[in-house]
Amino acid sequence: MEFHANHGCLECEQKDGNLFIVDFKAAYWLKKPSLTDNIHDAADYGIVFKLIRDEMAKHSDLLEHVARRIIEAVERKFPEAFAQIKVTVSKRNPPVGGHCDWSRITVFSQDPVRAIKNGKIPAL
């Protein structure tokens, strides 16, 4: 998903904004929607997109913060749906004092290493 947003610590980032890419991945229990073929039994991807769009419209200094807010918004809307959520937020040409096409941060809804070791969460 692509968004123009004003995330960043620097005044120029907050004023001019930048291109951001959000990659949303989730693992969830599919038994009911796979049997019923009913959208009401599944997480609606359109609603997930709107939640992400709304969070991207709110300023954050840090990509980590906006990624965490996205996870929290999705979990509030679909509290029982997802076993694990992974959100990657990428910023085009971050102001790092040299050539850098993208900066990226990935945040998980749970600690993926511990969850996989315990056999509870599929790897995303």
The Cα 92–Cα 70 span in angstroms is 19
Within-domain flag for 124: no
pLDDT score, position 99? 93
- Percent of the chain whose pLDDT exceeds 70: 88
Q: Which residues are paired to 21 by β-bridges?
A: 2, 90
pLDDT tens for 99-115 read 999 999 999 998 666 66
Q: What is the pTM of this model?
A: 0.85
Within-domain flag for 122: no
pLDDT score, position 121? 60
Residue 44 lies in domain: 2-117
Within-domain flag for 93: yes
Within-domain flag for 47: yes
Indicate which residue of 25, 58, 91, 120 is catalytic. Answer: 91
The Cα 19–Cα 92 span in angstroms is 6
Q: For residue 22, give the CATH number of its domain.
A: 3.30.1130.10
The 102-108 sheet, strands edge to edge: 2-5, 18-28, 82-92, 102-108
pLDDT tens for 49-90 read 999 999 999 999 999 999 999 999 999 998 878 888 999 999
The Cα 32–Cα 27 span in angstroms is 14
Give, in order, the Cα–Cα distances in Å from 23 to each of 3, 10, 52, 109, 114. 11, 24, 10, 14, 22
State yes or no: is 32 an active-site residue: no
Which pair of tokens denotes residue 106? 């990935």
